Amino acid sequence: MTARIHKGTPRNLAFLAGRLRKGGLVAVPTETVYGLAADGTSREACLKIFRAKRRPSEDPLILHIASIGDLDRIAVSNPAARKLARAFWPGPLTIVLPKRAVVPDEATAGLPSVAVRMPSHPLFRRLIRLAGIPLAAPSANPFGYVSPTTAEHVRKSLGRRIRHILDGGPSSIGLESTIVDLRHPLRPALLRPGAITKAQLARVLGRPVATSRNSRVGGRLAPGQMKRHYSPGTPVTLQAALTRARAARGPADEAWLFVARPRGKTLPPNFFWLDRQGDLRRAARRLFSVLRDLDDRGFRRIHAERPKGGGIAEALLDRLVRASSR
């Protein structure tokens, strides 16, 4: 049986909230990527997420809430966390804090901390409110594969493992949330780059934000920290400098993915780009969709141009580095 895709009508939202309260799984739209949601306070519901995604148990989940007031129900907050929440919630920021007892170890990979986010997608927030529980929701795809940014992406990759998908349209950001570790508020650390940049976090906190790639020996403090992740089945090679001339000399059965459209009226059929003008936020929105499309086309290899610059370019680069890692 293939998963049913539901429109966001009041009747459908009430039905799906009921499924979540009973321990079921529902794929949900967010502004970042589509997530696979379940009751984040239920051990059994969280284990269903791991089984459906074939996700390793040492990779923690993010719990999603509908309002800032819900934060203290599942985490031990602090002034720094509240500053960031007021500045960036609802939005694509996840904050790691000490957890409350209501959060099961299965949601946090046995850690005493929990990753929390308040999403801005209106349908997802309405669903959280109707369900009345924090929702654990990692990306709605087989573990390690390219994240989904449409309901159809979810159906293609998980449609035989889950029963319900809420369609909220294409994700407006297209990259997973920024994750910041605030367990020690005087030593904030960026765990995963995203649409909210390290410079923005530092401005609000009034102090530098470190970059931490491996915050837990023998495991991961938050999702998205594996060396290889967000990967299509087709091998990806990251190119430090990619020109039209160099790509034109390459094999015809390999795809060449530019950040911006190369110049010229006509281009070879194996040339692709993330945004015609090279706008990095639009490029980020399309990255996973383009990688999925290229994977479906049967190319032998994908050569991807390395994004340059700071801010959102760092998040784009992070995803491409992990996609191309062996």
The predicted structure's pLDDT at residue 222: 77
The predicted structure's pLDDT at residue 1: 80
The amino acid sitting at 176 is E
d(CA 141, CA 36): 8
pLDDT digits (tens, 9 = 90+) for 275-285: 999 999 999 99
Taking alpha carbons only, the member of 94, 108, 109, 103 closest to residue 134 is 103
Identify the three-state secondary structure at position 202: helix
Cα Rg of the chain, angstroms:
19
Answer yes or no: is pLDDT of 118 > 70: yes
pLDDT digits (tens, 9 = 90+) for 22-31: 999 999 999 9
Please report where in the chains the tokens 């009041």 appear, as a residue: 10
Strand (E) or helix (H) holding 164: strand 164-166
d(CA 205, CA 93): 14
b/e per residue 2-25 (b: at least 16 CB within 10 A): ebeebebeeebbeebbebbeeebb
Spacing of C-alpha 49 from chain mean position:
15
d(CA 126, CA 143): 27
Identify the three-state secondary structure at position 5: strand
pLDDT digits (tens, 9 = 90+) for 5-27: 999 999 999 999 999 999 999 99
d(CA 235, CA 233): 6
**Domain spans in the chain, listed from the N-terminal domain onward:** 4-211, 236-324
Tokens of 7: 């429109």
pLDDT digits (tens, 9 = 90+) for 128-171: 999 999 999 999 999 999 999 999 999 999 999 999 999 999 99
Domain 4-211 belongs to what topology?
DHBP synthase (3.90.870)
The predicted structure's pLDDT at residue 221: 81
Answer yes or no: is pLDDT of 226 > 90: no
